[in-house]
Amino acid sequence: MRYYPSHLTRFHGLPVHHFDGGEDQERPGRDLPAPASVAWRLAADWEVPFEKRWGAFLDEVCTEEVAALVIGAWWQEWDEDGIDSCLDLLTAEAHRFPRLRAVFLADVESEETEISWIKQGDVSRVPRAWPGLYELGLRGADDLVIEPLRHESLRRLRIECGGLPPEPVRALAACDLPALHHLELWLGTSWYGGDCAPEDVRALLAALGRCPGLRHLGLCNSDIQDEIAAAVAAAPVVAGLDSLDLSMGTLGDEGAAALLSGQPLTHLRAFDLGHHYMSEPMTRRVRGTLGPHIADLGLTPAPRSTHRPEARYVAVGE
């Protein structure tokens, strides 16, 4: 199974359309899709810097009808400064996007830059600029800043990375997101900045009790997945979930035993424990206990190293 992210093909329920305007010689008579019918992807390339592409987009597309934006690489060769200059351009024109409901930041693949090298910034500026935003996704967590805020509309938040520092996790615990329905965090490994401690996870789980509409929770891709499982097993917020994702990490028998001995999980519609390091007897026990009740139970094991079969790795690191 491939876990490393690739370019989005759909976002916010819409097909992704790559906007390639801004070239010196535009193709005459080209047709563009209806503004609200696609998620518009904008990225720099070798010939067109992001600022020029963004300007062409503002000129050619009726932004008042745009519902979703996907931001790819904002650099042409190498990014040394992070996403803040790109966010300057976006938020300065927020008034021109009254119907914008979804933004994804850093839709890039490893051929463009490794996920652990993506330099983010203060992404809180996006929900602050769009009070009606429903969905925010981002890739990469180097220099990521999240400021505590209250946002009445945000329903979906997804952070993909190889290492999520504790500060953004603590900031999320301090946010007030009453409409939140779907939260997915890739916590990563300490090798790439993922230094969250179990107490950070427990504080976040407690804070999510303030989100009465939360139905999906993903705490994934962590090298403390056993400790996360133990925290989840005791968290009241789990009782209200429809789906739970603890995949991509280093889950072993200890974490699985905590899940089975904790609160009931049989109400879940989907439970993903894929990329796990459980023993075969524990895997059979989990399947036998939860399989009859959970329609979608993910138990795909992680690949084992032939040289170090005892070693555990997260699915996405560098």
Looking at the predicted structure, is the pLDDT value of residue 2 above 70?
Answer: no
In tens, the pLDDT along 125-134 reads 999 999 999 9
Looking at residue 54, what is its pLDDT? 97
Looking at residue 4, what is its pLDDT? 79
Nearest to 244 by CA among 284, 280, 178, 290: 290
Question: Position 137: which residue type?
Answer: G
Percentage of the chain beyond pLDDT 90 is 88
**Pairwise pLDDT comparison (68 vs 306), residue with the higher score:** 68
| Domains of the chain by residue range | 1-137, 146-318
Looking at residue 57, what is its pLDDT? 97
> What burial class does residue 59 get, using C-beta atoms within 10 Å of its C-beta: 0-12 exposed, 13-18 middle, 19+ buried?
exposed
> CA 309, 312, 317, 318 torsion: positive or negative?
negative
What is the spatial distance between Cα 59 and Cα 53, in angstroms, rounded to a whole number?
Answer: 10
In tens, the pLDDT along 132-182 reads 999 999 999 999 999 999 999 999 999 999 999 999 999 999 999 999 999
Looking at residue 216, what is its pLDDT? 98
Q: What is the mean pLDDT of residues 94-105?
A: 98
Contact by Cβ (8 Å): 223, 197 = no
Q: Is the domain 146-318 a CATH 1.10.30.50 member?
A: no
Per the confidence metrics, is the pTM higher than 0.85?
Answer: yes
Q: What is the mean pLDDT of residues 20-33?
A: 73
